A and B are shown apart, each in its own frame.
Chain A
């Protein structure tokens, strides 16, 4: 592997790790707050899947970096300008509709992305993706079911779900944008060209939303910047909480 490709792959692994870590953290905030016990179990389960992915991606990143940094150094010792997750992942927990809508948007995305990543010419990334596909299939079943129920449930649930959709939609566009790093890797068959996923994603999401009696938002409003560390104000608070213990006792083993 040339140095350029290695550096780019490292950055790509960190990005995917950041996505999983930040989203897993957000979902874990639901534990003991769910509308009933089965949902607490489901949230803990999904959060665990994402934390597991974060560990695999960061683990690979530390292998590539080969400078003594561990998975925890990536998670706990970087500030928000160095985090490169998609903005959608860091948006607050919100109400149950907000979390399920976010999950639907992301689950459809991963169900398109992971099968492609599983064909990556990078064996480690391919193996992580292959494992994650099964999880994301289950995640999508759940978020799809919930969006259908909430959209087509009561007047209140419909209103909340539409509001969540309208306020999250603007953060979906950057999922399908590529910068030079990802373009370079996609050309080598290592990264997934996400620009090619957009149409199918839009078709699948629209079909679910329509069935749920929800309106698909217009595309005019788009916020971007996660991949270059240009975040919303939410991430700093999330990291403050996540990193507090780890940073208060530097250099400790836990």
Chain B
């Protein structure tokens, strides 16, 4: 048997598992492109959790009540934890966390573009939890069924905590709209600024999406960008109404025929510009990450030196 035929047999077995809805595990054979595609997606997801700590961390020290501060701390702590699970899931594919961080800092790896928008008022903490975490959950619920075992299990665990995040965001918005005129205006302003970028989180239209077709075939992705976005648009419309806020999409209209909301078009020029690195905070977010990493270099070196000394002592004693 030639090596080509052998490979195709492996490939057939791989596709057989995928089609039978069996999970692919780290030690299983997988096509190199499947591995690369997963590393790209999982590390991007991990980086998003980590970079996402910045806009919220920026408001921790100004949280308007101790209760809100405690909740926000706990949410950020969860996010850092999600970053860890996801880095570990990606590591099972044969890449190290250092390599992933290097790819992030050099701009080769992406993170969710939503974090390139600034968090300016307390209401933004509400909008981020409600809309950004809300959009993330729609995507992640679908990814619980992703074909790669460690990623799927990570998603199941993460989804449980994310729904608490979304509720806390919506709860901030509820307090604001039930408060003073100024608070309500703050809530409306945050909704206006975060609604469209939240829709962009689902990525380009299916027809434009570079990675979609193969990812769907391999069941890395289980639903298309546009389908997921539609779910989010539908669920958010009634939430906005309940808050008594004005919907930022003036063209939004219920379609009896489709059983979904029809909506206005996303500003794709803005989408591409932010992805290309030209958003409000792209540079700031990366510079922040690099600075913290560089400032921590001596700590990591000290840790390594201490552990080496300790090992040497143990070896001597043995």
| B151 at the A interface (CB under 8 A) | no
B298 in complex: contacting residue of A31, A32, A157, A242, CB < 8 Å: A157
Proximity bits, B58-76, A CB within 8 Å = 1, else 0: 0011111111111001101
Q: How far is the CB of B102 from chain A (nearest CB, A)?
A: 14
Give every chain A residue within 8 A of B180 (Cβ-Cβ): 249, 252
Q: How far is the CB of B147 from chain A (nearest CB, A)?
A: 27
Among residues 36 to 72 in chain B, which have CB atoms less than 8 Å away from a CB atom of chain A? Answer: 50, 53-54, 57, 60-70
Query: Is A25 a contact partner of B61 (Cβ separation < 8 A)?
Result: yes
Closest to A71 in B: B66
Give every chain B residue within 8 A of A15 (Cβ-Cβ): none
Stretch at the interface among A5-13, A36-44, A127-135: A36-44
| A190 at the B interface (CB under 8 A) | no
Among residues 116 to 149 in chain A, which have CB atoms less than 8 Å away from a CB atom of chain B? Answer: 148-149
Closest to A252 in B: B179
Chain A, interface SS category: helix
CA A254 – CA B178 in complex, angstroms? 10
Which residue of B84, B122, B303 has the most chain A CB atoms within 10 A of its CB atom? B303
| A236 at the B interface (CB under 8 A) | no
Query: Is A153 a contact partner of B306 (Cβ separation < 8 A)?
Result: yes
Given A51-B70, A245-B64, A246-B64, A41 contacting B122 (CB threshold 8 A): no
Closest to A48 in B: B73
Query: Is A157 a contact partner of B57 (Cβ separation < 8 A)?
Result: no
Give every chain A residue within 8 A of B269 (Cβ-Cβ): none
| A2 at the B interface (CB under 8 A) | no
Report how many residues on chain B are interfacial, defined by Cβ distance under 8 Å: 49
| B81 at the A interface (CB under 8 A) | yes
Given A33-B292, A34-B296, A41-B80, A28 contacting B61 (CB threshold 8 A): yes
Query: Is B182 a contact partner of A249 (Cβ separation < 8 A)?
Result: yes
Number of A-B residue pairs having CB atoms within 8 Å of each other in the complex: 138
Query: Is A32 a contact partner of B175 (Cβ separation < 8 A)?
Result: no
Query: Is B74 a contact partner of A48 (Cβ separation < 8 A)?
Result: yes
Query: Is B61 a contact partner of A241 (Cβ separation < 8 A)?
Result: yes
Query: Is A154 a contact partner of B305 (Cβ separation < 8 A)?
Result: yes
| A45 at the B interface (CB under 8 A) | yes
Query: Is B302 a contact partner of A149 (Cβ separation < 8 A)?
Result: yes
Closest to A55 in B: B66
Query: Is A58 a contact partner of B66 (Cβ separation < 8 A)?
Result: yes
27 pairs of residues in contact across A and B, judged by CB atoms under 8 Å: A28-B61, A28-B73, A31-B57, A31-B73, A35-B292, A35-B295, A35-B300, A36-B296, A37-B80, A41-B84, A48-B70, A51-B69, A54-B66, A55-B66, A55-B67, A55-B70, A72-B65, A75-B66, A156-B298, A157-B298, A157-B299, A160-B298, A241-B61, A245-B64, A246-B64, A249-B180, A252-B183
